[in-house]
Amino acid sequence: MRHLSTRKMKLLNLSLLIHLCSLLLVSTQPTDQPPFSCDSTDPLTKSYKFCKTTLPINRRVEDLVSRLTLDEKISQLVNTAAAIPRLGIPGYEWWSEALHGVAFVANISQGIRFNGTIRSATSFPQVILTAASFDPYLWDPRWGRGQETPGEDPLVTGKYAVSFVRGIQGDSFEGGKLGESLQVSACCKHFTAYDLDNWKGINRFVFDANVTLQDLADTYQPPFQSCIEKGKASGVMCAYNRINGVPNCADYNLLSRTARGQWGFNGYITSDCDAVSIIYDEQGYVKEPEDAVADVLTAGMDLDCGEYLKNYTGSAIEKKKVAVSDIDRALHNLFSIRMRLGLFNGNPAKQPFGNIGSDQVCSQEHLNLALEAARNGIVLLKNDNRLLPLAKTEITSLAVIGPNANSSETLVGNYAGPPCNPVTPLQGLQSYVKNINYHPGPVDITFAKNDQNIGSIIWAGYPGEAGGRALAEIIFGDHNPGGRLPITWYPQNLTKIPMTDMRMRPEPSSGYPGRTYRFYQGLKIFEFGYGLSYTNYSYEFLPLTKDKVYLNNQSSDKIALGYKSVSEMGTELCEKSKLPVTVRVQNNGEMDGKHAVLLFVRQEKTGNERPIKQLVGFNNVDLKAGEKAEIKLELSPCEHLSSAEGDGQMVVDEGSYFLSIGDKESEITVVFSEDTSDAATSKLMILPRILIFFYIYSFIPMHIVLK
């Protein structure tokens, strides 16, 4: 098994991006197979070029693939890759899960099991709660079920994906230090616009998502682009659904032209499990199974999570629907990853992670990190008359009501393994108050915001195994809450809008309000980025180096229209136009706290389907009571001030923009005319993009009644 670097792993989830998908690569073999490849004690090893670690991986892979028979090649195109005993190559299981801690995967013959000396693994908070900390140093992505994602904002989701992928694969936090070797291979999923699970009889397997080029460009695609370009993810998973009629896994434009061609993806592309069979069996997109095989291989997919390629690739070749060269390309991508992981470097016990033992699983360092992440993600939504924190010396009894208050299963969320030492909210509170009455009453909190009899509301997400302790510490004041909602909390009547409607932009003529804080024009229960604290913070923008950003490197027909295409500006101008923004933050209260600083931008003149506002930067700061600090952020005009036209082209509008943090604003202006100073090209503003919106709110329902 490829082990995680215990500190860098932190929280697993991106998919990636990300959806973020987190695929851990694991190799646990039956005893009748070679224990590992390239065994130095095997005389044949010396004759195999693919075992020579001094050769480039490209040449090693070419040698290996050239030695395989057609049947052996086909056997490697599925997630449970067969052994090749004559070459000393064991079987390999590609499918493992590590969304927010190493997880058990059922229905596979190989892979992670918790039935040996290791019976559990640290369960960190689910992704949705970790994102609420707005602390990139706690992140290390996944997909379209709400709890598995970093929320609704493209910038947050992209940054989460990058941090996660860099951490899990062995790169530095800043990136740029990842060489050929991989610590673990991270996979971003589900590519792309995979927002619907099951709604009124329409499920994710057959859903045909009608998505505009505009929404693809500035909402759905940017997190995946960040995951690949900045995170250097080595895996991508294509989703079940279709986009405008074409199955994602059979879309050459998506997989080869966009991911590999435009974004420079260098890795393997896998289907979601049984997605290839669904193209024929359920979507009816092709006339026969061999057509499905041909479509996905020619589109650029490499691996089938399932058995369709194993069953039908041979007959697809016989029918001349598939060329062996397409198979060889897929195998080159797959074996390149396995070699980058060191799985063809001989005895794994002698490799860099070969000495990691059970003492490094459920370690105190990991448990402390899980607690820290839970503390920093929990969001205080309401605190009338400063009801919280409760006085430890005065509270002698509590009533705790709610079905999840004593559920360790709900605590960790989905895609989780058995936790090391779970503490439920009830157990956490019992460490402060011994006299507690508990009753498991599913709780709808919509009514609670304006109910004067309910003084406080806390959103705890799925806080992981230490969540109960973290929640109790916040309630009794041993930790100051600082989390912010990574989602918009919509009113109940929004569920009347079809989940099949993928549009981000509102349509006033039909009453469609739009999606996410960037475009939604309806009533909100709580805003994206909302969160209270036990202390008060104030902000001050320090003077900008310039209040004008000049984008005038060349003439453009679009300038007369008041906007300029990002692609026309060029890399040099985009780099020169980046602008530092410094904000002074002060803790004006009496309690120390960790505070997330969120920088938004809005245009003076909205409309033309531009966002209402966008998050352009964020950071986290620890401040003692009365302490000040300066937070430095960066605006990149080409990335953060751009939005999509109807044809998907990213453009920057000329005119005024307002940076905002809390109740403070600072104006900057984008100008396309000539500037007389050399330094004028260093200023601009930032607009976010991306990801998938969700209606599933991660919430542990619970009432606490004082007696």
What are the residue numbers of the active site? Answer: 272
Q: Please, which contacts does 294-298 make with residues 24 or more away whose CB atoms are closer than 8 Å? A: 294/321, 294/322, 295/247, 295/250, 296/249, 296/250, 296/271, 297/322, 297/326, 297/327, 297/330, 298/252, 298/322, 298/326
Measured CA angle at 574 (ends 571, 580), to 5 deg: 140
Task: Output the CA–CA distances (angstroms, integers) from residue 251 to 188, 220, 258, 294, 310, in the order listed.
Answer: 17, 16, 10, 12, 21
DSSP type of residue 390: P
For every residue of 519-558, DSSP letters joined together read: H--S--SB-TT--B-SS-EEEEEPPPS-SEEE--SS--GG
For every residue of 497-519, DSSP letters joined together read: S-TT----S-BTTTTB--SHHHH
As beta bridge partners, residue 436 has 398
Task: Output the CA–CA distances (angstroms, integers) from residue 124 to 413, 416, 420, 513, 661, in the order listed.
Answer: 10, 9, 10, 35, 30
Give dist(CA 64, CA 77) in Å, integer.
15
Give dist(CA 124, CA 369) in Å, integer.
8
Q: Do residues 42 and 88 touch, judged by C-beta distance below 8 A?
A: yes
Give dist(CA 138, CA 451) in Å, integer.
35
Supply 20's token pair: 């973020």
Find the Cα–Cα–Cα–Cα dihedral 606, 609, 612, 615, rounded to 10°: -120
Edge-to-edge strand order for the sheet containing 579-587?
A: 537-541, 579-587, 628-635
Query: Among positive and negative, which fits the CA dihedral 542, 544, 547, 549?
Result: negative
Q: Pick from 518, 539, 530: which is nearest to 663 by CA?
A: 539
What is the CB neighbour count within 10 angstroms for residue 437? 11
Helix, strand, coil shares of the chain, percent, nearest 5, are 30, 20, 50
Is beta strand 80-81 parallel, antiparallel or unpaired with respect to 92-93?
antiparallel
Cβ neighbors of 607 (< 8 A, separation 6 or more) are none
Task: Output the CA–CA distances (angstroms, integers) from residue 189 to 192, 398, 657, 661, 692, in the order listed.
Answer: 8, 43, 34, 32, 11
Q: Do residues 656 and 609 touch, judged by C-beta distance below 8 A?
A: no
Give dist(CA 480, CA 533) in Å, integer.
6
3-state DSSP call for residue 402?
coil
DSSP type of residue 141: -
